Structure 1
Amino acid sequence: MTSHISLLTATDARSHVHLIIGSNPLAAARCGQSLSAGASPILIAPETSELYYALQKRVDDGEVKWIRDVFRDEHLTTLGREEIGHVVDAVFVTSGPREPLSAHISTLCKRNRIPVNVIDAPHLCSFSLLSTHVDGPLQVGITTNGRGCKLASRIRREVAASLPPNLGSACLRLGDVRRKIQEEDHLLHMALADGDDMDVDDSVDQSASFNRLVTEADVDAVKNRRMRWLGQICEYWPLKRLAAITDEDVANILKSYDDLNSSSSSSSPPSSNNSNNNSNNYAAGTQKRGRIILAGSGPGHPDLLTRATHKAIRSADLVLADKLVPSGVLDLIPRRTPVHIARKFPGNADAAQAELEEMAIAGAREGKVVLRLKQGDPYIYGRGGEEVERFRSHGLGLGDKGAVPVVVLPGVTSALSAPLFAGIPPTQRDVADQVLICTGTGKKGKPPAPPEFVPSRTVVFLMALHRIAGLVEELTEHLETEKSGDENGNANANETPRRVLWPRSTPCAVIERASCPDQRVIRTTLDRVVEAVEQEGSRPPGLLVVGRACEFLNKPEKGRAWSVEDGFRGLDLGLEGLEGLDLGGA
């Protein structure tokens, strides 16, 4: 059984004229909805009608204009706004589908392209009203497309109950920040040109360039760093933290550009007074001995945490988290524990990394247990080795009697778990006998050396989607630095064999937000993956899997350039009754 879906829109109805036909309680409700949206409702009902008491009160108070007459066809084209030729903006019929007048009004409205809604008659409607939760500027609407308004209302209540309080206030504050950034940096035209005006169209994911690198030569991108960071705050911060955003947080967001300018002159933020002291300070001290725990949070789903990392989350005095650590994991942090999320917006990655390292060192020297929480596994493109090296250079983790210990806990890497959740076995007999994990982006944004094509190899590229076009070109075409030879890689005399290129027909898959509720898989081939990512948008973090294994369990449909699969259902263990168990307390 198939059913249609509606094009959901948000209409700015301020100054619109709505005709409400009827005198019953529903007519009163429709008048109230019109007024709430800033429209001017006009009631059409005979003078002999007995108005519902709430409706009568609105008429008496002057909120609703009552045309004491039966409906006439000319009402549609004479009672509206002057600037649109007196045509009304919408019509609400509250008398139901059995009344002959309902079908007549519907036909007339559709003929004149006037939006019309008839109660309990989806076939007579050109639009329907959603069951809506309203919190300030935030509106959440649910529709079942005529399958049941009571069910829609129930779903709406469930969704609203799951949202943190004060989320509407957060929308107001963040909206103010966005306007201030635009005013100060003159970003309106650049945002439109670069696809970064993210609040205009809520129906699509981020543009493919959402997380692209910012280079020194990219002047426009440098100018709009704060706007990009604001977009990433909205994308990555847990909803609970967004809902609790304060004026101080807003000030810090606006101040970030100044921080960026000041940090660009040096490799790291200014150190604290004690940052140059090594761990010998602890030998003579009596304060609590601190430590740094560097832990991987896994691909996304909190159930994929190791028990060691979960214990560290519950017991840490300070949590320093990467921006990509998902909200489901951050929600496990006790409310009493301070949390700092990395300010890694494009162009500020190195400064943000140094800032977290300084905070970890300072916290440990104060005797705190500092949890440095990273996505995936710390040592698989997580810069974990760099951080341990930095801590060692400050005398931490050396194993001496007075040293602050550094502990590294593994995490489930998305490089191996994401393909599993997408139904891709990276190794499969007679298909793929080797797996190669690569980065799609080298240090300072430089492209790494592309791997050559091996038919039995599955390659997983991390940090690649923001430069997917460049990566595909590097895999399928020879670089300028590569010597000439034949297409099979055979070299001429005294020449090094050329790299074997990847066929453009090679199957591949883009996997985004693996194991999170909004996981998405795009299945396609190398020759169409750039177009697919550009058209479908970006939902970071994501990775690219390339190789024949991508099609082993997921045969492509003929005639389709790519397919998209939304949602995650990979941990349905039938353990729904365990949610209430005490897993350690907050």
Structure 2
Amino acid sequence: MGQDEFPEVQGGGSLILAWQIRNKRVLVVGGGEARRILNVLNADAKVTVVSPREGLNKEVAFRIEKGQVDYVDRKFEPSDLDDVDMVLTAVDDIEASTQIWKLCKERKIAANIADVPPECDFYFGSVHRDGPLQIMVSTNGKGPRLANIVRRSIAEKLPENIGEAIMKVGKLRQMLRKIAPKPEEGPKRMSWMIKVSDAYSLEDLCEMSDEDMETLLRFYAPDKVPRLGCLKAMEGELDAFDGSFGFCVGWG
């Protein structure tokens, strides 16, 4: 193969990941970072805010009052980093921020120092959320406002029901794993779910009930995917199913 057949390396980017921080401990230094606090709360993290009370903005104060985050009413101390998995800082003192970053490096704790890209192990970007669907746009710290503009442009072009459709696919996958749990079934499960995703529109998936999905799973063994109208017509008629509904099957 010639080298022209492979993509060129484009340095200067970030590795965009879906970081699972459920039940991880996140320390927030400063009381003005409401948006980032909400981001980590949405990811089911355990959040502690360290800030003098006069430094809290209204939203952060609200989340403290509601018990959504733990709160320490004072300035940062190095011991606050004990057993912490992630650190977010947003304080006006640049020297204090840099000192926190250095302490995080010593302890190998991932940190984001607000408005100081060189002292960030990760960036937050601009996120569109629709149920399980998350789309992030990042400018690698160079143009946050532009990231918001691009994110809104993408969101405007997405179908309104895509989040609900994804939830239905996720539920169907869980149900499928219960009837075909063996590891060696993995390739067939994946292949069949691809057929399902290709065969049904977003509207079909949103319309699909639990009973519809239970009926659909009867077609996993023969590796078939019936059209939704046929699927609904078959409900209650499949106790003695033998795979003979070929006239309604869209995929062989």
Q: TM-score range by the shorter chain?
A: 0.7 to 0.9
Cα separation, 2, equivalents of 1:150 and 1:241? 34
Q: TM-score, normalised by structure 1?
A: 0.35
Q: Deviations over 1:436-481 (max 9, x none)?
A: xxxxxxxxxxxxxxxxxxxxxxxxxxxxxxxxxxxxxxxxxxxxxx
Rg comparison, structure with higher value: 1
Residue 92 (structure 1) aligned to one of 88, 92, 97: 88
Superposition deviation, residue 262 in structure 1: 3.0
Instruction: Give the Å deviation of 1:250.
Output: 2.9
CA distance in 2, matches of 1:109, 1:191: 44
Q: Which runs of 5+ in 1 are unaligned?
A: 78-86, 197-223, 271-339, 349-586
Alpha-carbon distance in 2 for matches of 1:112, 1:90 = 11
Contact kept, 8 Å, 1:167 with 1:243, in 2: the verdict is no
Residue of structure 1 aligned with 2:246, choices 261, 264, 269: 269
Change (3 A) 1:65 1:186: closer
TM value normalised by structure 2: 0.78
Q: CA deviation at 1:238?
A: 7.2
Tell me how far 1:76 sits from its aligned partner: 0.6
CA offsets 1:125-162 (integer angstroms, 9 cap, x no match): 00111311111111111111112111111111111121
- For the residue of structure 2 that corresponds to 1:257, the secondary structure is coil
Q: Which residue of structure 1 aligns with residue 18 of structure 2?
A: 10
Question: 1: CA distance between counterparts of 2:99 and 2:40?
Answer: 23
CA distance in 2, matches of 1:239, 1:114: 44
Flag the 1:244–1:173 CA change in 2: closer, same or farther, 3 A: closer
Query: What's the offset of the Cα at 1:164?
Result: 0.9
8 Å Cα contact 1:167-1:242 kept in structure 2: no
Rounded Cα–Cα distance in structure 2 between residues aligned with 1:158 and 1:89:
34
Identity of aligned residues (%): 28
Q: Say which of 70, 74, 77 aligns to 1:65.
A: 70
Matched, 1:118 2:122: no
**What one-letter code is carried by the residue in structure 2 that aligns with 1:230?**
M
Q: Distance in 1 between matches of 2:143 and 2:194?
A: 36
- Which of residues 208, 215, 233 in structure 2 aligns to 1:246? 208
Q: Distance in 2 between matches of 1:162 and 1:342?
A: 28
Superposed, which structure 2 residues align to 1:370-385 within 5 Å? none
Specify whether residues 242 and 263 from structure 1 end up closer, same or farther in structure 2 by C-alpha distance, changes over 3 A only.
closer
In structure 1, how many angstroms separate the alpha carbons of the residues matched to 2:36 and 2:153?
Answer: 24
Per residue, is there more helix in 1 or in 2?
A: 2
The alignment's C-alpha RMSD in Å is 2.7
In the alignment, the residues of structure 2 paired with residue 4 and residue 341 of structure 1 have an alpha-carbon distance, to the nearest angstrom, of: 48
Residues 225-274 of structure 1 show CA distances to partners (whole Å, capped at 9, x for unaligned) of: x542212333x35764566452265345313236658347xxx836xxxx
Quote the offset at 1:22 in angstroms. Answer: 0.9
| Residues 232 and 5 of structure 1: CA distance in aligned 2, closer, same or farther (over 3 Å) | farther
The one-character-per-residue Cα deviations of 1:311-349 (angstroms, maximum 9, x if unpaired) are xxxxxxxxxxxxxxxxxxxxxxxxxxxxx9831xxxx3x
Distance 1:4 1:232, change over 3 A: farther
Verify: 1:101 aligned to 2:67, yes or no.
no
> Where do residues 43-442 of structure 1 align in structure 2 (5 Å cutoff)?
43-47=49-53, 49-77=54-82, 87-95=83-91, 99-187=94-182, 189-191=183-185, 196=187, 224=188, 227-234=190-197, 236-237=198-199, 240-241=202-203, 244-247=206-209, 250-257=213-220, 262-263=242-243, 269=246, 342-343=250-251, 348=252
